[in-house]
Amino acid sequence: MSTDQAAHAGREVDVLALDVGGDLGELARVRAWARAELGDVTEAGLTDTILVLDELVSNALRHGERPRQVRLRRRPGRLRIEVDDSGRTPATPRPPSETGGRGLALIDACTTAWGQEVREDGKTVWAELDLTGSNVSGDTVDPPFPGRRAG
């Protein structure tokens, strides 16, 4: 795990990183790490963060390749979760079934934005959250996101 400071659009950005092993048992370790590092985030914001983090990391474990790393990039009121793996196959939504297919739709519903960057040495799937309120629980004072129903 490492912490560094970087300038981003005139604001300080805290970057926390954690290398992730190869089995689904890593999810508990990643959740515990995030809770410890984000102790100052509201319960609603932390709930959204853990949900999104869990989906991104489990996708990397199921569909990606080693090495894997998760990063939390914080700036005031915002969090960007980035999950790297060395696979180059893009993350793509698939129809829901008994075996899955709901993860990226769930990420879309819980975040202000998400996407991916495919590189020669792998890919990064990322998601951004507004920490000033909950995107899922309805505790936010922000209006609903475009294309989403109000709770």
Contact (Cβ atoms closer than 8 angstroms) between residue 113 and residue 128: yes
Q: How much is the pLDDT for 113?
A: 96
Q: Which residues of 122-151 are buried (b: 16+ CB within 10 A; e: fewer)?
A: bbbbbbbbbbebbbbeebbeeeebeeeeee
Q: In what order do the strands lie in the sheet with 68-75?
A: 2-8, 11-20, 68-75, 78-85, 122-130, 113-119
Q: Is the pLDDT of residue 6 over 60?
A: no
From CA 70, how far away is CA 66, in angstroms rounded?
12
Q: How much is the pLDDT for 52?
A: 97
The overall average pLDDT reported for the chain is 83
Q: Which two structure tokens, joined as six digits, stand for 45? A: 């914001």
Rg (CA), the chain: 15
> Lowest-pLDDT range, 20-24, 71-75, 145-149?
145-149
Q: Is the pLDDT of residue 89 over 80?
A: yes
Q: How much is the pLDDT for 93?
A: 80
**50 — pLDDT class (breaks 50, 70, 90):** very high
